Amino acid sequence: MIRFYFHPTPNPAKVALFLEEAEVPFEAIPIDTSKGEQHEAAFRAINPNGKVPAIVDTDGPSGQEIRVFDSSAILLYLGEKAGRFMGEPGDRGELLSWLFFLGTGLGPFSGQAVHFQHAAPEKIAYAINRYRREVERHYKVLDDHLDGRRHIVGRDYSIVDMSAWGWIDRAGRVLAGEGDPLAAYPNVKRLYETVNARPAVQRARDLLAGHAFKKEMDEVAKRALFPSNYPPAA
> Domain spans of the chain?
2-84+202-229, 89-197
Calculate the alpha carbon distances from 97 to 70, 71, 89, 92 in Å: 16, 15, 14, 9
- Stretch 75-80: mean pLDDT: 98
Calculate the alpha carbon distances from 41 to 25, 45, 46, 115 in Å: 26, 6, 9, 26
Residue 234 pLDDT > 60: no
With cut-offs at 50, 70 and 90, classify the pLDDT of residue 150: very high
Summarize pLDDT for 167-218 with one digit per residue, the tens.
999 999 999 998 999 999 999 999 999 999 999 999 999 999 999 999 999 9
Percent of the chain with pLDDT over 90: 97
The architecture of the domain spanning 89-197 is Up-down Bundle (1.20)
Mean pLDDT score of the chain, rounded to an integer? 97
The architecture of the domain spanning 2-84+202-229 is 3-Layer(aba) Sandwich (3.40)
Q: Model-level pTM?
A: 0.96
Calculate the alpha carbon distances from 157 to 2, 13, 21, 36, 105 in Å: 22, 16, 11, 35, 21
